[in-house]
Structure 1
Amino acid sequence: MVLEFCKDGNLRNNYLRRSNNYYSKIHHLFSISSGLLDIHNADKVHKDFHSGNILFGISGSLISDLGMCQPEKQLKKDGIYGVLPYVAPEVIRGKQYTKASDIYSFGIMMNEYISEEIPFNDIPHDEVLAVRICKGIRPSIFKYTPKLLTALIAKCWDAKPENRPTAKELFQILSKWDVKAKSRLTTKEFFQIFHKLGIKTNKDSEVRSEVDEYDDKIRLNRTDKKISSDIQTHPQAVYTSRLLNFKDLPEPINSDCLDCQLDESTLREISQEQDDENSVE
């Protein structure tokens, strides 16, 4: 078997080493959505979708590591396996993997690529984080991300699987946005697709202004990081796939805060709750 060598590495390597503008990222996201649509059209679920499995090569963006990919109707409950920040809350609770679970993972990956921030890199990937994900915590969205994309990301990582877009809808949206990037024009059809998902759209001039501001701000943010130091991750933040086993997690809900972040006080609060529960037992 001969496989393509992806010299640009995975998605995280790509955004940490290369300076991609907004429209370049949209093109790559469109390419990734096309691959995910192919998987779902084959009635299969990837089950381990995260930025480490998105590779960049001559052919563009490719989805790799299909070892766990299975037909949706034949999925077996053989444990939860994956990278915690990318695993959908219903799966963390022990529910079956579905195509909607892949969409949740796509949303986390999409935000990571646009925000250039590794999800939950500064905290342990343990039961505390699993609880918070079920309670609606999500990675922060870069402040200057255009509103349309912010809304799409939030749709993808909605706590309710039925509220997430399908792979086909993702593909259609990103396809139109990719066309817009090349032509710098917005078509009526482009906006109609967002309306079908209940996402309000801005005027074309506002979208362009937001994109220009994003490119300026992300460039400055990227420079600040290089000046300060290399990105550091918590020693218990694990970004390789592993078996995850959590019990008695709360029912998944959406947080009132779109881009809530875990802070030290929150972590202490959750840890104290767990200690109190253990003392009662």
Structure 2
Amino acid sequence: MAPPPSVGKKKNVEDEEWSHGYRPRRDAVRLITKPGEFLVRATDMYPSADIVISAMDDNRKMVNITLKSDAEGWFLGPANERKTPRKFPTIVDLVDHYRAKGLSRTLKLTQMAIRPTWMIKHENVIYEQKDQLGSGNFCTAYKGKYTLKDGKTIDVAVKISLVAQAAAGLESEEAKESRMAMLREAQIMSFYTHENITQFYGIACDHQPLLVLMEFCAGGDLLTHLLKHGKNTDEKEKMVYLYEASLGMFFLHKKQCVHRDLAARNCLISNQGVIKIADFGLSKGIDSSDNKKEDDGSSKNKNGSNAQVPVRWMAPETLLKDAQGGPAYSRASDIWAFGVMTYEVFSNGIKPWPEDPVKYVATQIRKGNMPKLPESTPSKIVGLVSEMWAMDPNKRPVMRQIAKEFNTMLKNSTSSSSGSTYGPKEMTLNKINGVSRTAFFVSGVVGGVGHRRFLLIVVLCSCSDSMFNKVETSGGGPKLRRTQGSKGGKRGSSLRESKNSVDK
């Protein structure tokens, strides 16, 4: 789809702080909270996007004014102009005029809702079709380049809506949902910065196609690595994978985010060989009204949509419809999925019930008949996974406990009387083209991953335990004090859940 005809030769609407590109009405309602606030956005109408001014009038009523254009310029839609409409060469000229004069006696444009920093410009992103990295439910990913504000260029993964590219006629609901899913994922990711979460750089949404920019991870996904090198990967290295993934999930859960699609395929390997949680297309923030306990996994999210769901990784309670008609996803269901991912890691990438149909698999999960872990799995991990697969969600361990258990197991398995440690030289991660892991254990804060300094994932010294123990009680449950690498903000936007039983 071509960009909306909103850019005149004189002034470009995409340069304005009040221009928010493609954003749904519900976002405008959330952002505009007092009389006089406004923003300009594009809607999902096909074949050409409508441009809308969203504002709040003096009576605290939300008003959405659709703009029109013809050969003579831009003007307010018929519902807002009783006489011959006044026309302007660009949207910027139109908005500037009504900011000065007001739209009506009760509707003024006095304060703009500032465009978020994660909305970036298409012109700063380049990619080529030959550099495709892969594809998923909603999008195709390419390796690309992103030019930062300081002029520096970095490698990124560019995610582009699959359905939007294919749509050549009528705009389908699938196309709309695809773009909305990308926007929601971008909003969620904009809140999270952690060394075990893929770094989000921004989204270009001023016009089609929408582009989501993420950290480029040269190692690809963990599942592919396991299938290729799993047989030559020892148990210590596999525990590192799970420990690093648990740290990422621990961070998400503390931020009250339920991933809902945790699996080896959705963990990426960075250029430095660090495991990072990725693919937040199904993630959902936990509303405070649903948050009964901070860390016991009881906080549930119920809803429905038409997206695909990964049955083999789903907890029993998510396969049962409750009185409200939706699956009960929670942090506890992420814990169950982490158990399934542990099975994947120690089976070298083979998923549970690899040859069985989805319907049979769902029945086994509902009954709690989970498969035995491979014989190579350490006994302590077998015991830990059995706790993750408890039928009662409230009896499953929380992610903080899981991370601490892996930390302890790793320290015990690599320590010796001479004090030597297990080095990275033989790690199969270093067999991946473009990946160089230079530390297996370190005993402090080091640099070397991205642009941040952080406590490297597997720590041999006592400061590792303290990272998990810095908890204080304040009101509705334990609160984690902010530690190095645990920066972040608000919880992410809600995503609708899935109804279809489609396996991956």
Q: Which amino acid counterpart does residue 4 of structure 1 have in structure 2?
A: E
> Residues 184 and 161 from structure 1, CA distance in 2 versus in 1: closer, same or farther, beyond 3 angstroms?
farther
Contact 2:217 2:269 in 1 (8 A): yes
2:345 aligned to which of 109, 113, 116: 113
After TM superposition, the structure 1 = structure 2 runs for residues 115-194 of structure 1, keeping only pairs within 5 Å, are: 115-116=347-348, 117-125=350-358, 127-184=359-416
Q: How far off is 1:242 after superposition? A: 7.1
What's the CA shift for 1:167? 0.6
Partner of 2:317: 90
1:1-281 alignment, distance < 5 Å: 1=201, 2-18=213-229, 19-59=232-272, 60-73=274-287, 75-79=301-305, 81-94=308-321, 95-116=327-348, 117-125=350-358, 127-184=359-416, 243-245=499-501
Q: 1:23 to 1:184 in 2, by over 3 A?
A: farther
CA drift of 1:76 comes to 4.0
Structure 1 stretches of 5 or more lacking a match?
190-240, 247-281
Q: Check the 8 A contact 1:86/1:105 in 2, yes or no.
A: yes
TM-score by length of 1: 0.62
Alpha-carbon displacement from aligned partner over 1:96-151 (angstroms, at most 9, x marks no partner) = 211000000000001110122322211111x2321121112213311242211111
Identify the structure with the greater strand proportion: 2
Query: How far apart in 2 are the matches of 1:28 and 1:44?
Result: 21
Identity of aligned residues (%): 25
Higher helix share: 1
The answer to whether the 8 Å contact 1:54/1:63 transfers is yes
Distance 1:184 1:128, change over 3 A: same
Return closer, same or farther for 1:93/1:81 CA change in 2, 3 Å cut-off: farther
Query: Amino acid of the residue matched to residue 22 of structure 1?
Result: E
How many Å separate the matches in 1 of 2:397 and 2:308?
Answer: 23
CA contact (8 A) 1:83 1:242 kept: no
Greater RCO between the two (CA within 8 Å, min separation 6)?
A: 1
Ranges in structure 2 where 5+ consecutive residues have no aligned partner: 1-200, 202-212, 291-300, 322-326, 418-459, 463-496
Q: Give the alignment's TM-score, normalised by structure 2.
A: 0.36
Equivalent pairs, count: 192
Supply the RMSD in Å over aligned alpha carbons.
Answer: 2.5
SS in 2 for 1:244: coil
* Structure 1 stretches of at least 4 aligned residues deviating more than 4 Å after TM superposition: none
Instruction: Write the distance in 2 (CA, Å) between the matches of 1:160 and 1:133.
Output: 13
Deviates more, 1:174-183 or 1:96-105: 174-183
User: Which structure has the larger Rg over C-alpha atoms?
Assistant: 2
Q: Is the 8 A contact 2:304 2:499 kept in 1?
A: no
